Copies of this chain bind each other. A is one copy, B any other.
């Protein structure tokens, strides 16, 4: 049989739009030249009809009704003569348990001919599915005239790789499905991007394909919703576990013929080279050569561009603005925004103070020149002076301290928001993960913004990405976007005379090493010290992280790139004893 995976970008709550897209993609697949025109089954991602994650919209009965109404619409409008699998939210019709189920139905000839509910409900990190859904009680095979198919919905496929090593799901849905004498295993997913996650997906698919001796077809969502980027990259592995074809990150098809065991995707390269195999043959070319040398950075680059485009597009903005400080963080956000939105849609604003170096402005001017972005210059001295005068009496006799430092950052925040309000441009905030972790940022100041593109990149990763973007440009014959002085200067917030980040923070190589162990691995002080970090310094850093929790609670959403990003996937109390530094 011929199966077509249709990786799709759904909008949460846009039932009519998503249904129309499912219909138009189905027709497009059938209208194309080649194998897809003969598709027996088209598969769309998990919850493609309502978008993922719907979060507490699921508490609204009208949301569930909207999803079901769209399902009925699909039954009418999908072309007959083939089967189409779509994900949607349904009511739980059992007597007990949660109100809803995360379901996937096959529509054929205007009827629902098969339904599988999701069994394993991710309830960790950014996922809250046990909040809404009742797990499936049974796993069944969909019997198509041309073959028996098992559907493992996203997490159902992850039994072998639970969220943490001390947690084991009591049921293995794929094992149960493989016992049903399947011809194919299909995995409709809405699996958010995390760096390196594609390799895990592939490892799982290879393992299960070999276990069952059948092909595994993985169909992921694309686009982004809030913090989450869906990286698509749907793929097929053959019964020996060999990847046959991939999709890229955009809305597109992958077509697999189970007779010939041939698959056609749209990605130029197979972004996968497991240690136990030779890398698959690749198309060469200058760009690809660079990318291949640096796949982790290129993966992050791609995710960031998709994340910015998705957030802007889905919140109805075409224009963005941001503050350029002359430092590496704002420079890289500007480069990413220019790529995502077009430089003509990115307004940069430099807001020098009495403490800004001349170099900072020159570097910002040069950056904008290279990228073709407009730069506005708004020196903050006059409002700063007005505030200082106003506060002179109550603050009399007290030294210049954090209050005045933060005030400068807040003036910049207010100017950027005024710009955002006046010109309907979405403000991008430029803080990185190291700063957000240590609290080396000003709430309502440089933290202002609707989206924090690099809020899940450690400072050392920001440097790596900057070098990668310059190398990529050079390899493609474009001018390097980021002026060298921006990469090479010592990082500084420039909020007082001769300030350097390293006056308040350990060197970023050290800081990021500690933070990664603490945030990503939940490592204790003992464990971090055992990894070779200074115990006393680690204790200080962990205390800084804990004390900055209230800032992060009010931070802009970040684009999730790591296993543990700040935001909805990391939930900590504010008023607590900092036990980490003492146990």
Contacts and interface: CB of A to CB of B under 8 A. Distances in A.
A410 B407 contact: no
A4 interface: no
As for how many copies of this chain the complex holds, the number is 2
Contact of A583 (B62, B97, B130, B573): B62
Contact of A575 (B69, B225, B380, B419): B225
A131 B570 CA distance: 12
Contact of A554 (B57, B168, B556): B556
Interface stretch (A109-117, A390-398, A455-463): A390-398
Contacts of A573: 12-13, 51, 53-55, 57, 225-226
Residue of A379, A395, A525 with most partner-chain B CB within 10 A: A395
Contacts of A170: 96-97
A227 to B, nearest CB: 9
Interface in A90-125: 91-92, 95-99, 123-124
A218 interface: no
A415 B403 contact: no
A576 B401 contact: no
Contact of A580 (B12, B62, B169, B574): B62
A556 B403 CA distance: 20
B577 A557 contact: no
Contact of A411 (B91, B92, B414): B414
Residue of A166, A314, A389, A579 with most partner-chain B CB within 10 A: A579
A12 B568 contact: no
A580 B130 contact: no
A402 B55 CA distance: 31
B411 A394 contact: no
B448 A421 contact: no
A383 interface: yes
A576 B414 contact: no
Contacts of A579: 13-15, 57, 62-63, 66
A55 B557 CA distance: 19
A69 B524 CA distance: 15
B403 A421 contact: yes
Given A15-B579, A96-B170, A170-B96, A407 B418 contact: yes
A390 B394 contact: no
Nearest to A311: B575
Given A11-B577, A414-B414, A450-B550, 5 more contacts: A14-B577, A51-B577, A123-B123, A378-B394, A395-B418
Interface of A: 11-15, 17, 51, 53-57, 59-63, 65-66, 69, 91-92, 95-99, 123-124, 128, 130-131, 164, 166-170, 224-226, 310-311, 314-315, 376, 378-380, 382-383, 385-387, 389-391, 394-395, 398, 401-404, 406-407, 410-411, 413-415, 417-419, 421-422, 443-444, 448, 450, 522, 524-526, 550, 553-557, 568, 570-580, 583
28 contacts: A13-B579, A51-B573, A56-B572, A59-B522, A60-B524, A60-B580, A61-B522, A62-B524, A62-B526, A62-B580, A92-B166, A97-B167, A97-B170, A123-B128, A128-B571, A226-B574, A314-B576, A379-B390, A383-B383, A387-B415, A394-B419, A401-B421, A401-B422, A403-B418, A406-B417, A407-B414, A553-B556, A568-B571
Top 8 closest pairs, chain A to chain B, by CB: A14-B577, A314-B575, A62-B524, A403-B421, A12-B576, A99-B166, A13-B579, A403-B422
